[in-house]
């Protein structure tokens, strides 16, 4: 438990080499920041859910009996956590160190927001999760 919630986040932050300087509100309002936030918080969940719905409706696969669409949507919300590939793409896409640093910060912030939204959604919508979390 301490590895997942303490050591791993510290390791991730240390390896991203983010410098926390400058105007944070200016960073949040940049076009690339808005694109990153929209992609991770809205785009990934929507893509995961809609593609899953499409392949079930077309008949490529079927939804297992013990799984529902609320769970698929919740998994999609958690899909926005993926910051490793986002940071890799940032390093390939930008050549300005300030933009790279700002984008890394926005990626981590968006991943954190996705985690909170996904956890809260699944806790509130799936049966039995309220009891399981209280233990």
Tell me: the pLDDT tens digits for 3-35?
Answer: 776 777 677 667 667 766 778 888 889 999 999
Q: What pLDDT, on the 0 to 100 scale, is given for residue 68? A: 92
- Cα–Cα distances in Å, from 62 out to 53, 54, 57, 75, 89? 9, 10, 8, 17, 33
The tokens for 78 are 């958690």
Closest CA to 81 of 50, 100, 107, 51: 107
Tell me: the pLDDT tens digits for 89-133?
Answer: 998 999 998 899 899 989 989 999 999 999 999 999 987 765 544
Q: How many beta carbons lie within 10 A of that of residue 126, not counting itself? A: 14
Tell me: the pLDDT tens digits for 49-88?
Answer: 999 999 999 999 999 988 999 999 999 999 998 778 888 8
C-alpha to C-alpha distance for 7 and 59, rounded to whole angstroms = 43
C-alpha to C-alpha distance for 44 and 7, rounded to whole angstroms = 26
pTM for the predicted model, two decimal places? 0.80
């Amino acid at each position: 438990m301490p590895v997942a919630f303490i050591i791993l986040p510290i390791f991730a932050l240390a390896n991203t080499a983010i410098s926390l300087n400058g105007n944070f509100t200016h960073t949040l309002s940049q076009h690339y920041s808005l694109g990153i936030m929209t992609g991770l918080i809205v785009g990934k969940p929507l893509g995961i859910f809609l593609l899953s719905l499409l392949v079930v409706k077309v008949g490529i696969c079927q939804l297992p009996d013990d799984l529902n669409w609320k769970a698929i949507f919740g998994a999609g919300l958690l899909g926005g956590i993926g910051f490793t590939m986002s940071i890799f793409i940032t390093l390939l896409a930008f050549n300005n160190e300030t933009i790279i640093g700002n984008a890394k910060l926005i990626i981590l912030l968006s991943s954190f927001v996705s985690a909170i939204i996904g956890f809260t959604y699944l806790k509130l919508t799936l049966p039995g999760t309220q009891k399981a979390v209280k233990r």
